[in-house]
A and B are shown apart, each in its own frame.
Chain A
Amino acid sequence: MLRGISFIVGLYKECFLKKKFTGDSGLKRSLLNSSSDQTILNDTGSGDCIMQENEMINDLVLESKEHLLSIEPDLLLLEQSANDVDDKLINRIFRAIHSIKGGFGFFGIDKVTTLSHTMENILSRIRDHNLEINSPVIDALFQGIDKLRVLIDDISNCDSIPIEQELEKLSPFRSDMELKDDINKDTTTQSSSKTLLENHPDISESQLEDASKNGKHVYIITLQSDLDLHNGTTDPSEIIKKWEKLGTVLDCTPVADPISDKANINRTDFNYSVVFTSVLEPDLIGFACEVAGNQIFEINLSKYKKEGLSTSLRISDSTDDTNTISTSKISSPDKRNDDTLRVRTNLLNNLMNLAGELVLGRNQIIQLFNRKLIDFIDNNNSACAIAQNLDLTEKKIIDTSRSDMSSLPDIIASEIERLKHVYQSSLSMSLKELPGIGSSLQSLDSVISLLQENIMQTRLQPVSVVFNKFPRVVRDLSHKLGKQIGLTMSGQDVELDKSIIETLSDPLIHLIRNCCDHGIETPAERTACGKSPGGNITLNAFQEGGKVIIAIEDDGKGIDTSRVRDIALEKNLINEKEAKNLSEHELQMYVMKPGFSTAETISDISGRGVGMDVVRSNIEKLGGTVTIESEYGKGTRFYLTLPLTLAIIPSLIVSVEGRNFAVPQVGVEELIRIRSFEITKKIERIQSAEVTRLRGKLLPLVRLAEILDIEPTFIHPVTGERLSDKRVRWSDRRGKKYAENLESENDERRNGKKDRRENIQNAVKIIILKTGNNLFGLVVDKVFDSEEIVVKPLPEVLKSTQCYAGATIMGDGKVAMILDPGGIAAKAELKFSDIEKNQNIAMEKVVKGAETNQNFLLFDNNTKEQFGIDLNSITRIEYINKSEIEQIGNREFIKRDGHSVSLVRIHDYLPVSTPDTLPEDFYLLLPRHSNNRLGIVAGAVYDILNTETNIDTKDVKGTGILGSTIVNNRLVIILNINELITNAGKRFEVTYE
């Protein structure tokens, strides 16, 4: 710090020397009235000086912010150590405050100086053991620091920020003597500038403003009759004439000397009050005007204005407006501070060195290319050699043809062989690897990747930047809430991208507040539960793989899932049935739904039910996830999983129909490849939906080309053109016969007879992507390497496409789109979340049922799809003839046991194929729940399956479908009879109990 200040002082000196005596008020003015910068520039002709001043202030602001940051934890420590005060600690705080005071005092920024001075005073009392440390003192100091931060953040407008409240808070702890001093000083200066100006009713505010805009100071100088006018012997006009050379005299009025007797007034007894404007600084004016210092008052215009507001005319609104306008104007250049980053010097040195290496590497390559040029000329020589050899051959052949025709073929053959040899040797020479190019390319490569890594690191910041706020937050909250809360933090040095750190602050603060407000109980509650009265919050950051995980844990009461269920019901977020089916964990996730709050009352800390949703959306915006683990009565743990950086991400490069795409590696679970002859076997279809089996589970497949609506093409084997491809299914590309005759085909292949279609290109490449907890397979044409790509934001016009996360520039200079797995899943209408929660429970039931040997009835609907239904839910299976059907409107009935039964055709309710016509005879399945008033139409009933089959709930889905399973190598769609009946009931407007 000292170094910093001395640097500033040094700069300042330099600047001072250049400017002669414009001095520190000039500096201040340039800050306060940036609009007047121009005039100052013109006046003094030292624009660079002002630039330097601004830079100096910026440096000071940055430095002071760091001080403020360092003070906070120290103050907390101070509070904890209470009576056992460590002098080093106090001194550290003291020094930091002092540096701030000194720095800003230098630039004449009074507010900061006053406040820090008061705080310094209190600290010195603490240091001297004259003041006991208790939380009110620390509170007051904290408030002071907060205000200092506000002032420093908006340094150009700090004059308009009130600090009275903080000073008042601090005042009880100040030493009595100083307090009195200050009060006296305050009243005298205030009253004087006010009353003094009251003597000059002719002076308008604009006159004063004009003066101050031109960089002048406004003084009120009292000429005392006895001293300056030598009891009337000197005419005041003479003195004023003298002053006119130094500045402008705006007004001069005689005022009665308050001490002199009113009865005795004569001309010589008058004191004169002169309003005088000049560029001269306060410390020089007395000397120049030959007046004693105590007779001179400088009018601080902004102060005067404010007083004017309260005392005189009620034009407050308009002046206020102009004030705010000017502040907003002034504050804009300071915003630049936010865009700067402090970079560690050794990191910069690394960057510099690496850049140097890069240039060296480049030079090496240039040299090598020069050498290659020489080689090329050599190759030309070898071309000459071939030509000579050809001449030779020609001669030889002609000679031989003349003498011995019979040996001609042999000669020709041998000559051709020789020529081939000559040609090959020359060719190998040109292709021969250049010595050293491999290694220099390698070094270039490694240098460039190091450079990239280092540059990436310049954007990283330790999470401590955010974490350091929390001890203070927790302290304040625990005081406010009357709880005892401790905070343990670890992993502060874990680094994250600057932009992530910035966005992380709000969600983390919210989570911490939540922990304090909802999580941790009051000491009384805690002791009643048998816990220690003090609660604890743990904040931990650690790196796992390419991600950073931040865990926030409290040992409070945890999430009461039964209450969550009640509230969710109350707020109509779920219905009764869903509520019953939701698992503990799912209920816990409900706290993140918008509008959800378990708090009984809305406090100023939390309870509006917006927060957790904000947390989740903020984290998801960063490409992270939030998970909750909670045990009722024991505590809650939040996990925030975040990517390291947003700017550069490792991605898998894939292509579809010749277009390249980048898939962020984070979302890629695994890659699978289905060889072309296995396609028919391994990829199954339900209507248009394609699925494959992955380790016994069904995986929905999404074809990227289809989702992106890219016209299918193929490359013509002869011409190499890209032509549009009319084949829709993969199986169309593979003949069935071909798959059956696999063995013989393989033999053929071994014999070198290749099927045109059987090559690596035709294999299906599937990238398994993860969105949330769900997996799906993305089918692409080609999978290339993994590359680190630089993410460029998506242009505005393309945001509506929802499939892309951004764009990037590939190594070849071409633009490639970055795919967004979540967006693709949404575009493909993979509705994981909706169905899963119902089905997970239904699944559980099914699985439970399976343990007691649940039976499934297998049937079809006169289509190729096979369906399964829980046998226990069916009371009867009826054999029906078409003629029995009676039609009323669009409803179909049959009569059974004296009442009517509505026919339910499953294709009306489920996303399955529709049969062409109803056959003459069919079956009717009568489910238990409908009181036999509904019957499901079945074309053929095959079998009853007694099974413990796993039902896959992810792939085939929709209301009324439980999932899918595989029976005898065929896909069977398992129906959810309850949903089906409810739906059918809705359609017929009948409720079936």
Chain B
Amino acid sequence: MNKSFITIRIGEYLFGIDLKHVREVNRYLDITPVALSPEFVSGLMNLRGQIVTVIDPGIKLQMEKRVISKSSRCVILKTAAEDPSVSQKDTLGILVDSIGDIFTICSSEIECSPPNIIDIDVKLISGIVKLEQELLIILRMQEFLKAA
């Protein structure tokens, strides 16, 4: 069975998000920081009249906070209304350092995460794909968004 993944770069790593979770990728990043919000929330953003909660994935993946640059993008995820496999009611966006290609990968190519990963919570990873240049870490979105 083939699955499509959108690749995102967070820090030095390349992560993959199942394309079925993604509504759109956004370039306009006027994020209003919200005081007192949990650390993993970058702030709120106006997406065509809709409020999007922008999440900094770095915090969950034990990395540093994102700094917005020219290549920064916001991956807008589907809500529970659009994608029954997730539970969040609010529109969430994931702030990433850049986005890459979309890969269609056969599920047999996806390997389990190696047991020696310590920094990243293994629950967040659904598998690893060996690309030619580097490794693609597939994120398990339900787990990833649990606290969000």
Q: Which residues of A contact B (CB under 8 A)?
A: 659, 708-710, 792, 795-798, 800-801, 803-804, 807, 809, 813-817
Contact of B51 among A708, A803, A809 (CB under 8 A): A809
Q: Are A807 and B51 in contact (CB under 8 A)?
A: yes
Contacts of A816 in B (CB 8 A): 32
Within 8 A of A (CB), among B93-148: 147-148
Contact A813 B30 (CB under 8 A): yes
Contact yes or no, B46 A815, CB < 8 A: yes
Q: 22 A-B pairs, CB-CB below 8 angstroms?
A: A659-B32, A659-B33, A659-B35, A708-B36, A709-B36, A795-B51, A796-B89, A797-B41, A797-B53, A797-B148, A798-B37, A798-B41, A801-B35, A801-B36, A801-B37, A807-B51, A813-B46, A814-B30, A815-B32, A815-B44, A817-B32, A817-B44
Nearest Cβ distance between residue A197 and chain B, in whole angstroms?
43
Contact pick for A815, options B51, B88, B89, B147, CB 8 Å: B51
A816 to B31, CA, bound (A): 10
Taking CB atoms, residues of chain B closer than 8 Å to A709 are: 35-36
Say yes or no: A797 contacts B38, CB within 8 Å. Answer: yes
Q: Assess whether B84 is interfacial by the CB under 8 Å rule.
A: no
Q: Could you tell me the distance in whole angstroms from the C-beta of B68 to the nearest C-beta in chain A?
A: 15
Query: Shortest CB–CB separation between residue A806 and chain B, in angstroms?
Result: 9
Extra inter-chain contacts (20) besides given A708-B35, A798-B53, A814-B32, CB under 8 Å:
A659-B33, A659-B35, A795-B44, A795-B53, A795-B90, A796-B89, A797-B148, A798-B34, A798-B41, A800-B38, A801-B34, A801-B37, A803-B35, A803-B36, A807-B44, A813-B30, A814-B30, A815-B45, A815-B46, A817-B34
Chain B residues whose CB sits within 8 angstroms of the CB of A710 once the complex forms: 35
Q: How far is the CA of A264 from the CA of B72 in the complex (A)?
A: 98
Chain B, residues 32-69, CB within 8 Å of chain A (1/0): the string is 11111110010111100101010000000000000000
Asked if residues A797 and B35 are in contact (CB atoms below 8 Å), the reply is no
**Shortest CB–CB separation between residue A295 and chain B, in angstroms?**
53
- Given contacts A801-B36, A814-B30, A815-B32, are A796 and B46 in contact (CB under 8 A)? no
**Which residues of B are found within 8 Å of A801, using beta-carbon distances?**
34-37
Distance in Å: Cβ of A706 to nearest Cβ of chain B: 10
List B contacts of A800 (CB < 8 A). 38
Size class of the B contact interface (CB-based, 8 Å): 20 to 34
CB of A655 to closest CB in B, whole Å: 12
Closest to A801 in B: B36
A803 partner residues in chain B, CB cutoff 8 A: 35-36
Q: Output the least CB separation between B141 and chain A (Å).
A: 16
A804 to B32, CA, bound (A): 14
Q: Which interface residue of B38, B43, B51, B89 has the most chain A CB atoms within 10 A?
A: B51
Q: Please, which residue of chain A has its CB at the minimum distance from the CB of B89?
A: A796
B137 to chain A, nearest CB (A): 24
Please give, as numbers and ranges, the residues of chain A lying within 8 Å of B38 by CB-CB distance. 797, 800
Residues in A neighbouring B30, C-beta threshold 8 A: 813-814
Complex CA gap A813/B88 in Å reads 24
The residues of B that contact A708 with a CB separation of less than 8 Å are 35-36
Find the A residue at minimum CB distance from B148: A797
A809 / chain B contacts, CB cutoff of 8 Å: 46, 49, 51
Most B C-beta atoms less than 10 A away, residue of A710, A800, A813 = A813
A791: shortest Cβ distance to chain B, in Å? 11
A792 nearest CB neighbor, chain B only: B51
CB-CB nearest in chain B for A813: B46
A797/B51 in contact, CB under 8 A: no
**A797 to B32 alpha-carbon distance, docked (Å):** 15
Shortest CB–CB separation between residue B45 and chain A, in angstroms?
Answer: 6
Provide the residues of chain A in CB contact with B43, threshold 8 Å: 815
The residues of B that contact A792 with a CB separation of less than 8 Å are 51
Min Cβ gap A637→B in Å is 40
CA distance A817 to B36 in the complex (A): 12
Across-interface contacts of A817 in B (CB, < 8 A): 32, 34-35, 44
Best-surrounded residue of A795, A798, A807, A816 (most CB of chain B within 10 A): A795
Q: Give the CA-CA distance A817 to B45 in the complex, in Å.
A: 11
Residues on the B chain within 8 Å of A795, using CB:
44, 51, 53, 90
Pairwise interchain contact B90-A796, C-beta atoms closer than 8 A: yes
State the CA gap A813–B89 with chains docked (Å).
Answer: 22
How far does the Cβ of B52 sit from chain A's closest Cβ, in whole Å? 9
**Interface hub of A709, A796, A815 (most chain B Cβ within 10 A):** A815
Interface-central residue, B45, B53, B88, B148, by most chain A CB under 10 Å: B53
A936 to chain B, nearest CB (A): 40
Q: Across the interface, do A814 and B36 meet the contact criterion of CB distance under 8 Å?
A: no
A807 to B49, CA, bound (A): 11
Cα A982 to Cα B24 with chains together (Å): 64
Q: How far is the CA of A710 from the CA of B37 in the complex (A)?
A: 11
A654 to chain B, nearest CB (A): 13
Which B-chain residue is minimally distant from A807 (CB atoms)? B51
Residues of B within 8 A of A797 (CB): 37-38, 41, 53, 90, 147-148
Enumerate chain A residues within 8 angstroms of B90, measured Cβ to Cβ: 795-797
Give the contacts of B1-54 with A (CB-CB under 8 A): 30, 32-38, 41, 43-46, 49, 51, 53
CA distance A494 to B69 in the complex (A): 53
**B33, B41, B44 — most chain A CB neighbours (10 Å):** B44
State A796–B86 Cα separation when bound (angstroms).
Answer: 15
Which of A708, A796, A798, A803 neighbours the largest number of chain B CB atoms within 10 Å of its CB?
Answer: A798
Most buried by A among B37, B41, B147, B148: B37
Contacts of A813 in B (CB 8 A): 30, 46
Cβ distance A55 to chain B, nearest Cβ, rounded Å: 24
Cα A710 to Cα B43 with chains together (Å): 14
A442 CB, min distance to chain B CBs, angstroms: 25
CB distance from A224 to the nearest CB of B (A): 58
Q: Which chain A residues lie closer than 8 Å to B36 at the CB level?
A: 708-709, 801, 803
A803 CA to B46 CA, complexed, in Å? 20
Q: Kindly identify, within residues 68 to 86 of chain B, every residue whose CB is under 8 Å from any CB belonging to chain A.
A: none
How far is it, in angstroms, between the C-alpha of A803 and the C-alpha of B90 when the chains are bound?
Answer: 19
4 closest A-B pairs by CB? A708-B35, A795-B90, A815-B44, A815-B32
A478 to B41, CA, bound (A): 56
What is the minimal beta-carbon distance from A815 to any residue of chain B, in angstroms? 4
With a cutoff of 8 Å between Cβ atoms, the chain A residues found around residue B89 in the complex are 796
> Considering only CB atoms, which chain B residue lies closest to A704 in the complex?
B35
Q: State the Cβ distance, A557 to closest chain B Cβ, in Å.
A: 47
Q: How far is the CA of A817 from the CA of B33 in the complex (A)?
A: 10
In whole angstroms, how far apart are the Cα atoms of A801 and B148 in the complex? 14
The CA of A820 and the CA of B130, in the complex, are separated in Å by: 50
- In this complex, the member of B30, B36, B53 whose beta carbon has the largest number of chain A beta carbons within 10 angstroms is B36
User: Which single residue of chain A is at the shortest CB-CB distance from B30?
Assistant: A814
